[in-house]
Amino acid sequence: MHTPAHMFVGAALFARAGRPAVTRAAILGGLLPDVPLILMVGWSLWVMRLPPGVVFDQLYFSDAWQAVFAIDHNLWLWGSAAALSVALRAPTATAFTLSGLLHAVTDFLLHHDDARRQLWPVTDWVFRSPVSYWDPAHYGRITGPLELFLCAALAVVLWRRFAGKAARALILLGLVAEAGPPILFTLFH
């Protein structure tokens, strides 16, 4: 899933009107597993000025980058943190860790060639899902539009839950962030 989709899912499931800390935690939990990738890609493309092919075809699959992904999407880490948060009855931490765990689980189920070692350090095994959220060779032409539809539906849920102008502006911004890149890619390719 694209990062905004993870944030929509986390917010729809765990954000609560009138509980801003819980809401922020749910959104950030959906975002955090992708932050290292966003930073590494941004640095490589805009600071180091490397071509996208080098970043996405070489660096992404390098041992160094894959080591980072083995941690930031780690099912043991997110699962343990979520279990502890639930056990401690800490609503903000629970929203954060469950949203992060859900992000890791959905990526586990929706990555094929770009799958990660999410069960490290217990094993280096990589689950290569038969379904990809983006790759046309693995149903990406089906899952991509379904992801966009899911985000639109969740935006409606969140729109009803949060009446504030700032919240609704963020919902619209999230939809633009989710829909914009695929639409532009389709228009220009």
CA distance 86 to 99: 13
pLDDT digits (tens, 9 = 90+) for 11-60: 999 999 999 999 999 999 999 999 999 999 999 999 999 999 999 999 99
* Residue 11 and residue 24 in contact, taking contact as beta carbons nearer than 8 Å: no
Q: Where are the domains of the chain?
A: 3-183
pLDDT digits (tens, 9 = 90+) for 127-163: 999 999 989 999 999 999 999 999 999 999 999 999 9
In b/e form, how buried is each residue of 47-66, taking b as 16+ CB within 10 angstroms? eeebeeeebeeebbeeeebb
Q: What is the DSSP letter of 138?
A: G
* Residue 79 and residue 7 in contact, taking contact as beta carbons nearer than 8 Å: no
* Residue 97 and residue 85 in contact, taking contact as beta carbons nearer than 8 Å: yes
Res. 180 pLDDT band, cuts 50 70 90: confident
Joined tokens for residue 117: 């070692």
* Residue 118 and residue 108 in contact, taking contact as beta carbons nearer than 8 Å: yes
* Residue 86 and residue 101 in contact, taking contact as beta carbons nearer than 8 Å: no
Res. 181 pLDDT band, cuts 50 70 90: confident
